[in-house]
A and B are shown apart, each in its own frame.
Chain A
Amino acid sequence: MALVSRRFPNGVHAIYLEPNTVGDWRDIDAPRNAPAKAPEEHLSAILAHSHLDYLEALVAATVTVNHAAISAAGAGLPDGQGLVFQWGGAETTHTLLDLTSLGLDYEPLVLAALGENIVTGGLPIQTDTGGRARYASIYATPTAVVLWETASRTSAPLAAVSLDYEVFAIRRPSGDRNNLAKAFDPATGEYQFGRGRISSLRQYVQTAVGGSPFFLPLGRTIDLDRGSPRFARGDGTTYDPVPAGLVVRVEPGTGAYGPSLAYAGSFTAPDAVEVQVR
């Protein structure tokens, strides 16, 4: 199949794999041009189409966050736990990007990559022995990109850590920006496609060979077993914070402890796609 770039009189401009060579290449109704005529039915064959939207980065920046140390937890249930392990108690937020200057009236989709993984709803961003860990979610307001963190704590503190995040705020698609199917400015070298929907001077979420991608997970990223979670990251790794030694007995403590509360399931990381913003 040939990869072609075609512009049609009805305003459609598309770059796509021809499914066959049937019909006149200039005729959008020809079978060979089906991806151009009905892109929503041929997405796997399309590189770009003037009627689709794209994940354009409004802002892209590398941000260093200095996460403070987290103090050790208290004794938990008095004499009721085989060791000290507690959820939460260290919630805080970090402003990753100030979006005020952009004058947005919406909350953009935001992506924050920590190494090869994006921050999802509770990504373990720092782990230590015994289940001490720090977890993050990310959200946006019209004026800021914010990282929200919480923790699991043990009888020892979790050290402070500085982490670098690649942060992207994604523009809400606004459709056509001009009436030009394609345009090239020799002075700047800018190439625009599909009435301004794509510009060579702007950055987009893309799949590519090489580079420094991060993983977007395509399914569930947390599973529960024995009351405890297993976290799965886009890079395929998993993390079980609850240690095997977390056992409980009825308070006040006498008699044998019950079984371990550590995760004992078989969940594995979902499929993920490597993407970059460039």
Chain B
Amino acid sequence: MKGMTFDPSVPAMTLHRGGGQTPLVFPGSFPGLLLPDQVTITGQAVAFPDFASDTIWHHEWRITSGGGSFHGHQLARVGVTRLPGDWSETTVLMDAPAGTNVFFGQVRLQQTSAASHNWLNNSPIARRQPENVWITAFGSLLLEQHLGLSRLMSVYLDDDPLSATYRKLVLAREQSLGPAPGGYGLLGLGEPDTVNHPSGGDSQGGERIVGTTAGWPVYYPGDTGAPHYKFQLYTHDQLHLGAGIYQVPKTFRKTASSPPSIVDPTDYSSGWLADVRGQFGRLNIPE
């Protein structure tokens, strides 16, 4: 037999080719439907703001034995920090046509501005997607990462009736900076007024404290001097108060009269451009 039969219960059309050939069943399922209109969005800004910032204050003192004499030093440096927190923003690209439940899309990305400085005085914030190529875009794409920090974007048709962007094609951005590191507080012998310095060996101490809120120390300027770095040497006589008792120099502490200061030169915002293209469609679910 040759010909065609249609079975709506499958649903399927069976093509009988005769000659003992196996019938072809087509489609046997629901093909994904696409609305004919091609969607093209060019140069969509994908920007991530800088995180809130603060400072970290490092103070250190040392009394050193050497060569039969004592001497000491005090130093202080200020660094900049970034504070923990999450941020997100959703941009509506366009309305989704009625009846569609999926956007079959591609995204092409280009980073246009990166953080001004290395993260944690260590290395640049790494990009996590290839640039200038058309990436298949279902859901989310990680864009940038480093220790404690992540940034991503998502392109999808929002089909959540409870969402403010219900029935919209959206581009959502998120970034997150994790909880601040530990290690703030007193160092070594802390910040006493005087110290019983042993004959031989060193005495040292200091502190590492926040400006206002604990954050990630992302940048220290080089130890090149004022205003962010101060250093002072002291002779034995300048520190010696009596038998075995030495003055601990603390005039560079944050609470003292002449601490260092800093103007934050860093900017950890970043910018990307995204081109988005594709077609809206519907995937019907067979029962």
Chain A contact residues, CB within 8 Å of chain B = 2-5, 15, 40-44, 46-49, 51-55, 76-77, 80-81, 85-89, 93, 107, 109-112, 118-122, 135, 137-141, 146, 148, 150, 170, 173, 175, 184, 186, 189, 191, 198, 200, 204-209, 216-229, 232, 247-251, 253-259, 261, 270-271, 273, 275-276, 278
Contact = CB atoms under 8 A, between A and B. Distances in A.
Contacts of B91: none
A53 B156 contact: no
B11 A3 contact: yes
Contacts of A259: 179, 182
B86 to A, nearest CB: 7
A261 B148 contact: yes
A186 B147 contact: no
Contact of B278 (A109, A216, A228): A109
Contacts of B107: 121
A217 B139 contact: yes
A139 B134 contact: yes
6 contacts: A52-B34, A107-B134, A121-B136, A208-B28, A221-B154, A255-B187
Top 5 closest A-B pairs, CB basis?
A121-B141, A227-B178, A208-B29, A221-B139, A249-B183
B183 A255 contact: yes
B13 A191 contact: yes
B15 interface: yes
Given A42-B99, A55-B32, A219-B158, A118 B278 contact: no
Nearest to B285: A207
B138 A120 contact: yes
B152 to A, nearest CB: 5
B172 interface: yes
A269 B44 CA distance: 26
Nearest to A107: B134
Contact of B31 (A122, A198, A224, A258): A198
Interface string B137-172: 111111001111110101011111000000000001
A46 B33 contact: yes
A102 B63 CA distance: 76
Given A44-B282, A138-B136, A139-B133, A122 B15 contact: no
Given A54-B32, A191-B24, 9 more contacts: A46-B33, A48-B27, A87-B126, A121-B142, A122-B140, A140-B136, A216-B138, A218-B157, A254-B187
Given A44-B282, A88-B126, A218-B157, A139 B135 contact: yes
B251 interface: no
B130 A148 contact: yes
Given A54-B32, A120-B136, A216-B283, A87 B106 contact: no
A256 B29 contact: no
A118 to B, nearest CB: 6
B175 interface: yes
Given A2-B8, A137-B135, A204 B99 contact: no
B136 A119 contact: yes
B156 A218 contact: yes
Nearest to B286: A209
A187 B31 CA distance: 25
A250 B183 contact: yes
A107 to B, nearest CB: 4
A91 to B, nearest CB: 8
A53 B24 contact: no
B206 to A, nearest CB: 10
Contacts of A224: 86, 150, 152, 174-176
Contact of B30 (A77, A173, A208): A208
B68 interface: no
B157 to A, nearest CB: 7
Contacts of A89: 126
B56 interface: yes
Best-buried of B26, B31, B86, B147 by chain A (most CB within 10 Å): B31
Contacts of A141: 133-134
A204 B145 contact: no
B30 A189 contact: no
B45 interface: no
